[in-house]
A = this chain, B = another copy of it.
């Protein structure tokens, strides 16, 4: 990939992601109002620095002193979060400038509304860099910072989410949590009139708590800048693009075809989860299943993927067979260890496969049966994940116990899936990413 010069203003991004103190301007005591939700998230999630709520109507809120204006705050303010009515914002920018605040997150605003430009211009005038307007806010686990409109209970993990859309962004934070995809950061770009996705991605590329990224993109501001940003970040961290925009697809068209792009939110989260885990060195996968039927579905759909599912050779067959007391079919891939196979049988066969140098990745496909204990299966997978330096992708399909087992693994950052289709698509993205990032 070609060299790209990055124009990241490090200080701005650091202040945005790691503020030491925060003013929230336009707070409210009415649940459901933006000024209530953002402040409540910020306080309850446990931001460690001082918080300065601002609203002339209140003396205190959430047992914190409330200020009439930012000018009444005597301490330094690193970051301002704006949830005030749009028409008041130019005046507030003046006060922020006078107070010496350099960075603001503007949550207020209607997406794409002309008033966004007024906000941007007033910020420029006072030397303030802004994220937004119409940002959903910012979440960063490293700073214990949840200044978003999203849910309070967020699963923490290794996936960073950058989104243009405020409402979709909130839903995505919730969806990630119920899907067991832990988040390290969420950034609402909104109208991205000032701070760009390039700057945000550059920061996250270096952020240690973030292992992979999802960028939800709806539009291209400056032709070439998104492509350059993706190229630059991709050298350092896996990235999935969530978009249905022809403009965005056109912009990224020059990039190699293995960059993961999807219009499905679940696929984006699934791939980001896989990409936040172990890297893969080749494309040779062996799948193991207790259900010939499920194995056939996986095999059938693999023909559309980049994965190689080679038939096991005789030496490998002999190695695996010793762990399977009855029947089984070892000359196919997926290997069928039969519905009678318990966790111990899986463990024996999977150890063999994970140790093989000619196997790049393993899919462990387990259908819940009356005989099986999905949670035991999950903890066996967890052990293997720790032991070996190659990806193992478990699929645990069935009822409530199976779903709980999948979620328990996902919460630990292991890319487990409830269906063969989702697992295969994610394994595919692992291989494609390894090709993309080394091209």
Q: Which residues on A are within 8 Å of B, measured CB to CB?
A: 31-32, 34, 37, 110-111, 113, 149-151, 153, 163-171, 173-175, 177-178, 216, 218, 242-246, 263-267, 290-294, 296-301, 327, 338-339, 367-371, 397-403, 418-422
Contact = CB atoms under 8 A, between A and B. Distances in A.
- Give the oligomeric copy count: 2
Given A32-B370, A165-B294, 7 more contacts: A165-B292, A165-B293, A168-B291, A170-B369, A264-B297, A265-B297, A267-B421
A175 B418 contact: yes
A339 B32 contact: no
Contacts of A297: 168, 242, 244, 263-265
Contact of A263 (B164, B292, B300, B398): B300
B264 A301 contact: yes
Contact of A301 (B171, B263, B398, B418): B263
B293 A175 contact: no
A306 B90 CA distance: 47
A178 B403 contact: yes
Contact of A369 (B167, B216, B400): B167
A296 B399 contact: no
A242 to B, nearest CB: 8
8 nearest A-B residue pairs (beta carbon): A244-B300, A165-B293, A174-B399, A168-B293, A167-B291, A171-B367, A174-B398, A167-B339
B149 A370 contact: yes
Contacts of A400: 174, 177-178
A79 B367 CA distance: 28
Contacts of A291: 165-168, 171
Contacts of A113: 327
Contacts of A242: 297
A399 B177 contact: yes
A168 B334 CA distance: 14
B402 A174 contact: yes
Given A245-B296, A263-B421, A397 B171 contact: yes
Nearest to A297: B244
21 contacts: A31-B370, A110-B327, A113-B327, A150-B370, A151-B370, A165-B292, A166-B291, A167-B367, A167-B369, A170-B368, A171-B294, A171-B369, A171-B402, A174-B368, A175-B402, A244-B301, A264-B297, A265-B297, A265-B421, A266-B421, A266-B422
Contacts of A177: 399-400
A170 B297 CA distance: 15
Contacts of A34: 370
B151 A399 contact: yes
Contacts of A338: 110
Given A149-B369, A175-B398, A419 B265 contact: yes
A265 B422 CA distance: 10
A14 to B, nearest CB: 28
A58 to B, nearest CB: 19
Given A32-B370, A368-B170, A400-B178, A164 B245 contact: no
B175 A399 contact: yes
A61 to B, nearest CB: 16
Nearest to A37: B370
Contacts of A243: 300
A397 B265 contact: yes
A243 B397 CA distance: 17
A242 B175 CA distance: 27
A398 B290 CA distance: 33
Contacts of A164: 293
A166 B297 CA distance: 14
A209 B18 CA distance: 59
Residue of A175, A218, A266 contacting most chain B CB atoms (<10 Å): A175
Contacts of A165: 291-294
Contacts of A292: 111, 165, 167
A418 B418 CA distance: 15
Given A174-B402, A178-B399, A399-B151, A419 B167 contact: no
